[in-house]
C-alpha cells in the first residue's frame, strides 16, 4: 500500500511523531511504501473559503498544499497524527484537512483507508472524546474506512508516554 502520513506537531521528536516513527517502522517492515508530510513545518496556508477550486480543482494558494493533495490522491491510506490541543487536533493539521476542500470529490471517491494517531497530557476519559468523534465524522464524510485509532492518554512527553501505545502503533503498521 501507498501510505501518506500527515503530522501536525511542532515537536519534531515529540510524542505524536514518536507514535508515527513506530507505526512507520512496522509498516515498512510489512512492505508498505510510507511518506510523511509535516504540516507543522511545511509551507502551508489556510483555506480562504474563496471557492475558486469549486471543491474540484486547484487551490489558489501558492504553497505546498496542491502537492500534498496530489500525494493524497495517489495513496491508499492516510494517517493523521496530532497532539491534542484543547480537546481537538492541532491547527497545523486542521489547516491541511481544510485544504482537502479543493479535491473533496476526488478524495471521497477514492474510498481510502484512514488512521488517527494522537497524544494528550491528561489521562481522563473526556480528553479523547471530542477528537474521536470528530475524526469518526470526518472519516465517514470522506468515505474513509477507519483502519484504527491510537488515542494515547497520559502521554504529555515522550518519557511519560505508556509503552503500550508505542507497541500498538508498531503493530498497527506491521499488521495493515
Ligand atoms: C496549545 C496546547 C494545547 C494543549 N491542550 C491539551 C488538552 O486539551 N488536553 C491535554 O491532555 N493536553 C493538552 N496539551 C498537551 C499536549 O497534547 C501533549 O503534551 C502532547 O503530548 C504533545 O504532543 P507532541 O509532543 O506530539 O507535540 C496541549 C498542549 C498545547 C501546547
Residue owning grid cell 500500500: 1
Grid cell, residue 70, equals 496530489
Q: Which residue(s) pair with 81 in the sheet?
A: 7, 117
Tens-place pLDDT, residues 14-61: 999 999 999 999 999 999 999 999 999 999 999 999 999 999 999 999
Q: What band does 140 get if pLDDT is binned at 50, 70 and 90?
A: very high
Is 15 a pocket residue for ligand 1 (Cβ < 6 Å)? yes
d(CA 56, CA 64): 17
Is 92 a pocket residue for ligand 1 (Cβ < 6 Å)? no
Residue 63 confidence (pLDDT) = 98
Is 155 a pocket residue for ligand 1 (Cβ < 6 Å)? yes
Please state the pTM of the whole predicted model. 0.98
Mean pLDDT for all residues in the chain: 98
Q: How far is the CA of 96 from the centre of ligand 1 (A)?
A: 19
Amino acid at each position: 500500500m501507498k501510505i501518506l502520513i500527515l503530522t501536525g506537531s511542532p515537536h519534531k521528536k515529540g510524542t505524536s511523531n514518536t507514535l508515527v516513527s513506530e507505526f512507520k517502522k512496522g509498516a515498512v517492515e510489512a512492505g508498505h511504501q510510507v511518506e510523511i508530510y509535516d504540516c507543522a513545518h511545511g509551507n502551508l496556508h489556510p483555506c480562504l473559503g474563496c471557492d475558486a477550486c469549486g471543491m474540484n480543482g486547484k487551490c489558489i494558494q501558492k504553497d505546498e498544499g496542491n502537492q500534498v493533495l496530489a500525494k493524497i490522491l495517489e495513496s491508499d491510506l492516510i494517517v493523521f497524527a496530532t497532539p491534542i490541543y484543547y480537546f481537538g487536533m492541532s491547527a497545523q493539521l486542521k489547516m491541511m484537512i481544510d485544504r482537502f476542500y479543493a479535491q473533496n470529490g476526488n478524495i471521497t471517491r477514492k474510498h481510502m483507508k484512514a488512521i488517527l494517531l494522537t497524544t494528550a497530557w491528561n489521562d481522563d476519559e473526556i480528553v479523547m472524546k471530542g477528537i474521536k468523534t470528530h475524526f469518526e465524522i470526518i472519516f465517514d464524510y470522506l468515505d474513509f474506512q477507519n483502519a484504527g485509532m491510537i488515542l494515547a492518554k497520559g502521554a504529555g512527553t515522550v518519557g511519560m508516554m505508556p509503552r503500550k501505545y508505542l507497541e500498538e502503533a508498531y503493530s498497527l503498521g506491521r499488521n495493515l
